[in-house]
Homo-oligomer: A and B are copies of this chain.
Amino acid sequence: MSEPIRIPARGSAKPVTAEKFDAETDIVVVGGGGGGLAAALFARWEGSEVTLLEKAPELGGTTRKAAFWYWVPNNMAMQALGITDSKEDCIRYMARLSRPERYVADDPTFGLSDWEYAMCEAFYDNASTATELLAEKGALEYRHCPDVPDYWAELSEDKASKGRVLLPKGARESMSDGGEVAIRTMSAAALRDGVNIRTGLRVQRVSRNGDGAITGVQASDVQGRLITVRARKAVIFASGGFTHDAEMRRNFLSAPVFGGCAAITNEGDFVRIGSAMGAQLRNMNYAWMCPIVLEKALNHDPRLIGTFSPSGDSMIYVNRHGRRVTNEKLAYNESAQAFFEWDPAKGEYPNLVLFAIWDQRSQDHSASDEYGRFIVPLGADDAHVVKADTLEELAKAITERLTRYVDRIGGLYLSKDFASTLDATIDRFNVFAETGRDLDFKRGERAVEQLFNGPVAEPTGTNPTMFPLSKSGPFYAAILSGGNLDTKGGPKTSPEGQVLDDEDQPIPGLYGVGNCVASASARAYWAGGGTLGPILAYAYLAGRHAHREPIKAVEQKIAAE
């Protein structure tokens, strides 16, 4: 993964009217991450001939980098344990977080739009069925995580706040490598069951017939050779979001984001291809968010993992003035928001970059190369870590490091009193740590904050997320910014994955699943696996629905454009 990945260059997304094809299948699936593999399997198991095209040299996409928790409401394991998780309660919880500004507790759709409600309902109704089928077929066996809480377990609307999370069965104890396991088992099942897989092919555009129905795709390889594939029934896009298209990020996302941990092949291909087919775009403003190590993002490091676990008890985040501005242990999607605060009088993002600061205790006892932790063990890649013996020297070292990036972060530098303010900030934090109560930001008071706290040294304080920082060095620092796991906007689909045009009519034969299409979750990150749970449910619906599509004629007529 450390070598640069060669990706075929981007061409026009404009649809064509193709007459001949190099290959032919029932269903083309675009993208070989979790969503694409699942959609391919579900369609294949129905009996369709399926070809899966992946842009990267190997399968996996963003999923391979993920822990692959999957959030499955009312799953079989919950039922076996006697945990009630009614549809009404579950969708109410989702609505409460997705559209808080419109939430109505006793409304039939809880304030969601009809489309949002229908998407949430389809997820609830199909997630368990989909995951049971994947398990039964040996493509993705799971183990239940009865103790993992939702990210908003404290809300009164969360009636089943533990038990919805599943994990690939073969994942390690720490639950961090589920993605690799899932890609391995799903790929093996796809090969076993006859899904035709081609890697290194970038789908550039779709072809359509005179009725506007999709007839296939045109793809190209790294040499620029064009390969055309007829899809008799349908094309299902599962090609990921637009995290790595800087222009799309700047022009759609609600916040200034420097990158993210999505597969670097996630360049918004389906925003372009779907738009060119007349799809409506929805939920373009929101992303699955997390803090990220700034340097890895700016260096386009394909190994970047979001900071899911802000480890270390004797660790704080401070801004360029040396001040704490947030609860460091918030769930990652929420933690990212602190970076985007706007100063309406100075015209700047004062927290655009934050500095994680920790001491030897956290370095010795909280280092790990899992869950995107920035405190990494000896021998791991620690190029992002700045180290110094005193706070003054740390400020100097950070300043030196910032000079490499200052032209890409709006000229952000440390203020002159950074070290002295940081010193006072540590004193204040240390009192909180001693007492176990963070009077400024309530660190560690919620279940999710303890969930991602990571390993800490003994003895812990009364609040295991906090311990006083040593006032004698060495001190360590990492530069963080707000980032994406991936985006969650794109063409609007029906619950069955059919891409919808300007009048909410399906574009015949065009499907989408996963982060490449619009998520009805709006701004919410309901729980761990709130990405992959819905993706598997929608892949199930799309794969099966696409299987039932009529065969599209390839008409030989004069192309209109």
User: Chain A residues in contact with chain B, CB under 8 A?
Assistant: 12-14, 17, 96-97, 99-105, 107, 111, 113, 152, 155, 210-212, 247, 250-256, 272, 275-276, 278, 280-285, 326-327, 330, 334-335, 337-338, 342, 344-345, 347-349, 352, 407-411, 442, 445-446, 489, 501-503, 518, 522, 557-561
Most chain B CB within 10 A, of A256, A280, A344, A345, is at A345
Q: A410-B100, A560-B560 are in contact. Are A344 and B335 (CB under 8 A)?
A: yes
Q: Nearest Cβ in chain B — how far from A89, in angstroms?
A: 16
On whether the beta carbons of A251 and B518 are closer than 8 Å, the reply is: yes
Chain B residues lying within 8 Å of A342, measured Cβ to Cβ, are 337
Kindly report which residue of chain B lies nearest to residue A330, judged by CB atoms: B344
Within the complex, which residue of B17, B250, B252 is in contact with A560, where a contact is CB–CB below 8 Å?
B17
On whether the beta carbons of A281 and B281 are closer than 8 Å, the reply is: yes
User: CA A510 – CA B103 in complex, angstroms?
Assistant: 40
Chain B residues lying within 8 Å of A152, measured Cβ to Cβ, are 347
Count of chain copies: 2
On whether the beta carbons of A284 and B251 are closer than 8 Å, the reply is: yes
Kindly report which residue of chain B lies nearest to residue A151, judged by CB atoms: B347
User: CA A348 – CA B253 in complex, angstroms?
Assistant: 19
On whether the beta carbons of B352 and A101 are closer than 8 Å, the reply is: yes
User: CA A285 – CA B13 in complex, angstroms?
Assistant: 23
Could you list 12 further interchain pairs (A-B, Cβ under 8 angstroms) beyond the known A12-B503, A276-B278? A97-B347, A101-B256, A101-B409, A101-B410, A103-B411, A104-B410, A211-B561, A251-B489, A252-B281, A254-B285, A334-B344, A560-B560
Kindly report which residue of chain B lies nearest to residue A446, judged by CB atoms: B345
Chain B residues lying within 8 Å of A104, measured Cβ to Cβ, are 407, 410-411
Enumerate 27 A-B pairs (CB-CB under 8 Å) in ascending A order.
A13-B502, A17-B560, A97-B347, A99-B410, A100-B347, A100-B348, A102-B409, A103-B411, A104-B407, A104-B411, A111-B407, A152-B347, A155-B347, A210-B561, A211-B561, A251-B284, A251-B489, A253-B285, A275-B275, A275-B278, A276-B502, A334-B344, A338-B344, A345-B442, A345-B446, A557-B560, A558-B558
On whether the beta carbons of B561 and A522 are closer than 8 Å, the reply is: no
Within the complex, which residue of B12, B408, B502 is in contact with A102, where a contact is CB–CB below 8 Å?
B408
User: CA A34 – CA B256 in complex, angstroms?
Assistant: 32
Chain B residues lying within 8 Å of A559, measured Cβ to Cβ, are 560
Q: Nearest Cβ in chain B — how far from A118, in angstroms?
A: 14
On whether the beta carbons of A561 and B345 are closer than 8 Å, the reply is: no
On whether the beta carbons of A284 and B252 are closer than 8 Å, the reply is: yes
User: CA A518 – CA B248 in complex, angstroms?
Assistant: 13
Q: Nearest Cβ in chain B — how far from A151, in angstroms?
A: 9
User: CA A502 – CA B272 in complex, angstroms?
Assistant: 7
Q: A330-B345, A334-B344, A560-B561 are in contact. Are A502 and B12 (CB under 8 A)?
A: yes
Q: Nearest Cβ in chain B — how far from A65, in angstroms?
A: 24
On whether the beta carbons of A282 and B251 are closer than 8 Å, the reply is: yes
On whether the beta carbons of B250 and A522 are closer than 8 Å, the reply is: yes
Q: A252-B285, A344-B337, A347-B155 are in contact. Are A247 and B103 (CB under 8 A)?
A: no
